[in-house]
Amino acid sequence: MAPSPVKAQGHALWLIADDRASGKYSKIIQRLAEKTHTPIFDPHITLLSGLSGPEQDLKRKLTVLVAKQRRFAVSFVGINYEDSYFRALFLRAPLDDSIRALHRRAAHIFDVQSTDYMPHLSLLYGNLPLSAKQALSALAKGAPVHVTIQRIDLYKSEGNVEEWRKIAEAYLT
């Protein structure tokens, strides 16, 4: 597999589902990546991206963010695809009160402008034709629809997808 042609910058906060669901998503992501020769990545819902600053400061802010944050449920509303490398194939989550409030709080704590936010869990990264995405969406059937968000991870998402790495994790109560 060639390195991903799209490079990201900065750090990101990822919402991580319960272990059972994450395991199933990982298998789907791996199967899709192997079939399309695209990168494998950890399943997540990006809460906030483009974060900058010393990692110790980002870790401290993560601790503040998760303080008193309870686990919450997310129910995906379908398999979608876009003409976007990082949204080649994904499960869309509604922007309900729980996710909206957490996203706003994170933006405030990390001092970033909150832009248009569409919570989703990517299953495939890549530049693929629409017909391929439509065909591949069948491989995502059986993905868990209802999950519990159990933690927030801080990732260094610099460079190619293959270079991304987890810096910290914080469990919700």
Q: Is 44 helix (H, G, I), strand (E, B) or coil?
A: coil
Q: Is 128 helix (H, G, I), strand (E, B) or coil?
A: coil
Q: Is residue 58 part of a domain?
A: yes
How far the first Cα of the chain sits from its last, in Å, is 39
Q: Is residue 4 part of a domain?
A: no
Number of domains in the chain: 1
Q: Is residue 3 part of a domain?
A: no
Q: What is the CATH number of the domain that holds 64?
A: 3.90.1140.10
In whole angstroms, give the CA distance from residue 86 to residue 12: 14
Which residues have a Cβ under 8 Å from the Cβ of 23 and sit 6 or more positions away?
A: none
pTM of the model: 0.93
pLDDT tens, residue by residue, 42-67: 999 999 999 999 999 999 999 999 99
pLDDT tens, residue by residue, 77-127: 989 999 999 999 999 999 999 999 999 999 999 999 977 899 999 999 999
User: What does the mean pLDDT of the chain come to?
Assistant: 93
